[in-house]
Amino acid sequence: MPTDSEVDQVIHRALAAATRAPSVHNSQPWRFARRGRVIEVWLDRDRVLAVVDPHGHEARLSCGAALYTLRLALAVDGFAARVRVRPDGERDDLLAEVELDVRHRPTEQERTLAAAVPRRHTNRRPFLDRAVPERLRVPLARAAAAEGARLVLVDRPELFTPVADLIRRADRVQSGDPAYRAELRSWLAGPGRADGVPASALGRSPTPGGLVALRDFGAPEADFERVPLLAVLTTLGDTPADQVVAGQAMQRVLLTATASGLAVSPLSQPVEVPTTRRALGALVGGMVHTVLRIGYGHVGSPTRRRAVEEVAG
Ligand SMILES: Cc1cc2nc3c(=O)[nH]c(=O)nc-3n(C[C@H](O)[C@H](O)[C@H](O)COP(=O)(O)O)c2cc1C
């Protein structure tokens, strides 16, 4: 049996890994509480984005990504975890409980994915004009399935055109909304800030007329890859628990991509506008949680996180 102080160290390392998870606008909308060997994952309402995410959907995806990273860190540190995603996250902001269980021998895959945690970054730069081979696409879809979600690869032109149209349409709706633009500006991080999106991570904006629109952080324009690989993450339901499940799947897909040398940037605009979210769901089938742009890109740079002490109590 590990001593209490060993358990404390394991939990601290797992929380540090969890905070490396991606979150919408790097808002880090999570809090963690400890009860003995149980770690509770809470939604931090104060960090839910009022304009872009009024119902906390993307905040729960972000917390789900942190939850997956927490599980993975415990696994490579030699602990199985009993995870309970709470079904009633709408009324109660306690999203999940993770209980340290018996000793566990980490698998090769867990080690590979855990090693990708510090190397995973959102890459908003143009990708190379190099197709992602089938042998790397299949594991991405499997990663989502292993967590109870579905990753629909948009690899047929007859699907690509309407999906890209919906992304551009949602982006136009949002760009015309002063409240959206003001909220986005408020998450541009200056030096010294441990949340938000720093200038070093803004990448580039596609030149007008490009096939897909990236969120307009005001970055300088550049030509993007000619044929981006898009993928849509869905689940059957859309309860708060489904959103936490989708967040875990999202992070597993992102880490699988990173481990394969692929770069990714989420394109959430069509998910944030209710009409385009419905249209996208009708196109691919299921409840849509995010759209990912996947390809080969130069190595990104890390963005900052709040310290474990600030998010765990
Ligand atoms: C649910 C969710 C939605 C996101 N949507 C977008 C998006 O639409 N555009 C974008 O550029 N980044 C998006 N991101 C990426 C975040 O901005 C990014 O994770 C955060 O700034 C931290 O940076 P990192 O991923 O490099 O660690 C999203 C992330 C999450 C978890």
Is residue 275 very low, low, confident or very high in pLDDT (cuts 50, 70, 90)? very high
Region 118-135: mean pLDDT is 96
CA dihedral 267, 268, 274, 277 (to 10 degrees): 60
Walk me through the domains of the chain, giving residue ranges and CATH numbers: 4-118 (3.40.109.10), 121-295 (3.40.109.10)
Report how far ligand 1's centroid is from the alpha carbon of 58 (Å). 10
140-174 CB burial, b ≥16 within 10 A, e <16: bbebbeebebbbbbbeeeebbeebbbbbbbbbebb
CA–CA dist 97, 261 (Å, integer)? 32
Q: Whose CA is nearest to atom 21 of ligand 1?
A: 26
- Ligand 1 atom 10: residue of nearest CA: 266
Q: What local confidence, expressed as pLDDT, does residue 60 receive?
A: 97
**Best residue among 28, 122, 234, 248 to mutate for probing ligand 1, ranked by most atoms within 8 Å of CB:** 122
pLDDT, one tens digit per residue, over 246-259 is 999 999 999 999 99
Given CA atoms 273, 279, 284, 287 in this order, what sign does their dihedral have? positive
Q: Are 133 and 33 in contact (CB under 8 A)?
A: no
Residue 2 binned pLDDT confidence (cut-offs 50, 70, 90): confident
State mean pLDDT over 24-33.
98
124 lines ligand 1 (CB under 6 A): yes
Task: Tell me: ipTM over 0.95.
Answer: yes
Q: Is 266 in the pocket of ligand 1 (CB under 6 A)?
A: yes
Q: Which atom of ligand 1 is nearest to the CA of 58?
A: 1
Convert 62-71 to b/e letters by CB count within 10 Å (16 or more is b).
bbbbbbbbbb
Q: Is 251 in the pocket of ligand 1 (CB under 6 A)?
A: no
- pLDDT at position 252: 98
Predicted pLDDT at 122:
97
Smallest CA separation from ligand 1 atom 4, residue? 24
Q: What DSSP assignment string belongs to 100-137? A: EEEE----HHHHHHHHHGGG--B--SPPPS-PPPHHHH
